[in-house]
Amino acid sequence: MFKVAVFIGLIGCCSAGIFSGAHVAQAVVRTEPLPLDTVPNYNFGYAVTDAISGDQKSASEARNGDSVSGSYSLTEPDGNVRTVTYTADGINGFRANVHNSLPRAQQAPAPRDLAQESLAAQRRAELAATPPAPAIQAVTYAAPVQAVQYAAAPVAVAKTFTYGGPVQISYNTPFVRYNAAW
């Protein structure tokens, strides 16, 4: 109770201005606009060639003011190389030219292993000469039927309980008197 009274007293002193808190730092806001680049210019490009996965791609782009031009190229899974060249400006909008090259020349097939092929042919001939397995006949079983008897269910015994009503409990403290009914 004492802690509550002290806390309320501190709040009252702070709101009355008796305790002045730390000075609040004022945020400085810059209101002047940043200068804009009137003619933005940039050039960039990259290329990737991964020998393990076979991934090949490249891209490049250049901007001079409101005019942008660039291209990108990639190798598709079927070997086709797609190259896209594009331009964009305020007059013509975005224009793209897509060019697909023919797939790479097919590699020669691997040489045939005639010894393996003759072994496979022999095995097929052996399997064809083997007589078919005898047909399996379905077998049915009749399970014996047994009569099942269950014991009688136990009889439930009812118990009676009595309720005496609420119990009065009282607590005495220096400030508050509390009565509870259970």
The pLDDT tens digits for 102-133 are 755 554 556 666 677 777 788 888 877 777 77
Which tops the pLDDT comparison, 15 or 54? 54
Which tops the pLDDT comparison, 58 or 116? 58
Strands 177-181 and 81-89: unpaired
Give the confidence band of 16 by pLDDT, cuts at 50, 70, 90. Answer: low
Q: Among 72-81, 115-124, 137-146, 167-176, where is mean pLDDT lowest?
A: 167-176
Confidence check: pLDDT of 168 > 60: yes
- Separation between Cα atoms, residue 73 and residue 101, nearest integer Å: 11
pLDDT of residue 156: 65
Q: Decide if 108 contacts 96 (C-beta within 8 A).
A: no
Query: Locate tokens 């393996």: which residue?
Result: 116
Confidence check: pLDDT of 26 > 70: no
How does pLDDT run across 61-88, given as a tens digit for each residue? 999 988 999 999 988 887 888 999 999 9
- pTM of the full predicted structure? 0.38
CA distances from 28 to 23, 25, 31, 86, 133 (A): 15, 9, 9, 45, 94
Mean pLDDT, the chain, whole residue set: 75
pLDDT of residue 58: 94
